[in-house]
Structure 1
């Protein structure tokens, strides 16, 4: 299962959606099955969300320095803690911009070939004429990317992360 933060573009309502996989979300989105539970709009997009990163297995949980005082509810029970406030929704302009960037990148990748870790070698071979020039995308270390740029080889980072083929939910 995968959880996405979703947002309708009309009313700017944010909500969670649970899907079997990223592909399942895309298929439901294409069929108009993903709708806002508040206003019913089917114009829904993925909202920007912070990753849930757990602590390492070899790290101990942080110990609180001082316990905050809790007010007692009637009957001597501790009052329930309040949930943290949800982040404010993104402005419509930001949502539109992120959507446009994601669509432009997706279109560019359709005509590009995934070369994985051999990106630097393939880009260099094309630049020096050892290989036919073709659009490619893959992975390079920061050092490899700097070396390519120093050699005058035009490269650009992808603005939105791309999962290698076969590694998508």
Structure 2
């Protein structure tokens, strides 16, 4: 397979894949290579830079890390508004709910059926367990973070 950068007579640029260079020439001669934007049949190869992979046995030279700008910030510190919002949500969930770990599905089902007292819980469930809870009408929602595992 080969990828070409192409350009029509109207100046639209687009990429397309071909089985080989000969296949491109054959399709172009038959008028089957057309602009993906306007349908123009006057399409030519555009100038492009080749993608060259290093040899499989080539040794990667380590790249120097980017220069820090300003003070270095630890990775666990929120850096923008979205990260601050997620950190606040995590704090609220952890402060106002009971962590039930991998027993989340069974605890949620027990509360839904009235076999356990209702309370706010969070934990972990496999995809099929969560899907079964939703199908059975148990009110659950995924969290946008992975809970910290607490040792009980």
Please tell me whether Structure 1 or Structure 2 has the larger radius of gyration of its CA atoms.
2
User: 1 or 2 for the larger relative contact order (CA 8 Å, sep ≥6)?
Assistant: 1
